[in-house]
Amino acid sequence: MRRIISVLLENEPGALSRVVGLFSQRNYNIETLTVAPTEDETLSRLTVTTTGPDRVIEQITKQLNKLVEVVKLVDLTEGPHIERELMLIKLKATGSQRAEIKRTVDIFRGQIVDVTSSVYTVQLAGPSDKLDGFVQAIGASGVLEVVRSGISGIARGEKVLSL
């Protein structure tokens, strides 16, 4: 099963490489990884999505916790949570395609954020499967370039991951 692990990490040089190194060193799988400083600039928040049997997931969280620079972590998939991914996608948009694309973007609640005579650049945020759905709806032949941020997640309700 896919898991989303959210980590509070000391915002120090080298800390990220320890996390990434751990995954390759122990043969764990990384599907997406996002990281940025938090409102407290001494901390970074890192979200990693991974898959594996329960035993491996348990090891991943334990091994991450063992890293000296990891302050706290939570497996968001253990409870109700919100996950979002941002996609910027460049689409071929000429002639009648333009209206068609505009409609699809609206259906998916995206925004066209840049326009040329032959290209639309669309921004879309949401759960990853919604982003997949959009790409599918457009069809491979219309897609020029895709950038996805990887998943960011947060627990629902009162629960917070903080110091």
Partner 1 sequence: MELLSGADMLIRSLQDQGIEYIYGYPGGAALHIYDALFRQDEVKHILVRHEQAAVHMADGYARATGMPGTVLVTSGPGATNTITGIATAFMDSIPMVVLCGQVASTLIGEDAFQETDMMGVSRPVVKHNLSVRHPSEIPEIIRKAYYIASTGRPGPVVVDIPKDMTAPNERFEYAYPKKVKLRSYNPAIRGHAGQIKKAVDMMLAARRPVIYAGGGVILGKASGQLTELVRKLGYPITNTLMGIGCYPASDKQHLGWLGMHGTYEANMAMHHSDLILAVGARFDDRVTNATEKFCPGARIIHIDIDPASISKTIDADVPIVGPVDAVLKEMLALVKESKEKPDAEAIASWWKQIDEWRAFHGMRYETSPDVIKPQEVVEMLHRLTNGDAFVTSDVGQHQMFAAQYYKFDKPNRWINSGGLGTMGFGLPAAMGIKLTHPDDEVLCITGEGSIQMNIQELSTCNQYKLPVKIINLNNQALGMVKQWQDMNYESRHSHSYMESLPDFIKLAEAYGHVGIRIDKKEDLEPKLKEALAMKDRLVFVDIQVDRFEHVYPMQVARGCMKDMWLSKTERV
Span near partner 1 by CB under 8 A; candidates 9-17, 92-100, 113-121, 126-134: 9-17
Strand, coil or helix: 43: strand
Asked if residue 69 binds partner 1 (CB under 8 A), the reply is: yes
Choose between 75 and 83: whose C-beta lies nearer to partner 1. Answer: 75
Please tell me the distance from the alpha carbon of residue 130 to that of residue 163, in angstroms, as a whole number: 33
Q: How far is the CB of 8 from partner 1 (least distance, A)?
A: 8
Q: How far is CA 15 from CA 12, 32, 35, 92, in A?
A: 6, 17, 11, 40
Q: How far is the CB of 59 from partner 1 (least distance, A)?
A: 6
Asked if residue 141 binds partner 1 (CB under 8 A), the reply is: no
Asked if residue 31 binds partner 1 (CB under 8 A), the reply is: no
Asked if residue 62 binds partner 1 (CB under 8 A), the reply is: yes
Choose between 44 and 121: whose C-beta lies nearer to partner 1. Answer: 44
Q: Could you tell me which residues come within 8 angstroms of residue 113 by beta carbon, excluding any fewer than 6 positions away?
A: 88, 121, 122, 123
> Using the rule CB under 8 A, which residue among 1, 17, 41, 140 binds partner 1?
17
Q: How far is the CB of 57 from partner 1 (least distance, A)?
A: 12
For residue 76, give the nearest of 159, 154, 9 by alpha carbon: 154
Asked if residue 55 binds partner 1 (CB under 8 A), the reply is: yes
Asked if residue 39 binds partner 1 (CB under 8 A), the reply is: no
Please tell me the distance from the alpha carbon of residue 113 to that of residue 121, in angstroms, as a whole number: 6
Please tell me the distance from the alpha carbon of residue 138 to that of residue 155, in angstroms, as a whole number: 31
